[in-house]
Amino acid sequence: MALQLLKRPRPLPAFKDEEKGIYAQWKIKGFFYRKSGLPKISVKGVARVRYADLEVEGKLPHFTIKKQLVNIGYVEHVNDDILDVRGCDFRLLIFGVHHVEIIRDWLRFLVIRQRIPHSLMGLPFDWQVKPVRDDRQLQLSRISPFHCFKIW
């Protein structure tokens, strides 16, 4: 009596609701993005890590920001619900994030995980080539417009 060691593979279920390549996704109340010139502000959106990019999509006004995880040099939380993400030439403040410490740690892990193949290929990182432009700590005053995100 011979045992059948190999089984016929079953077809995988078709996940129609899930997008491919998303490692993390969370809802946000708003974000503030500054690279050079005028800053961009949007409310009600979604932040997600898709493959090797951090995508932040706002609904009012509708636009999307894509940043490579390799170019992120600083991820920290400010207060209880603000996530501060910085690179050499940009700053991204994400407001209204629930479980900000967990998301901060997960985003740091994904950034480090993306740096490994980048360094194995011998490519230079942004902070090795470009100077850091904005390295100041975030100071929110009582009359700051960013306090409106704490109301809702």
Give me the CATH number covering residue 69.
2.30.29.30
Which backbone phi and psi does 138 adopt, to 5 degrees?
A: -75, 125
3-class secondary-structure state, position 132: coil
In a domain, 16, yes or no: no
In a domain, 5, yes or no: no
Domains held by the chain: number: 1
In a domain, 8, yes or no: no
Q: By residue range, what is the domain housing residue 48?
A: 22-128
pLDDT digits (tens, 9 = 90+) for 96-128: 999 999 999 999 999 999 988 888 888 888 777
In a domain, 9, yes or no: no
Give the residue ranges of the chain where pLDDT is below 70. 1-18, 131-152
In a domain, 76, yes or no: yes
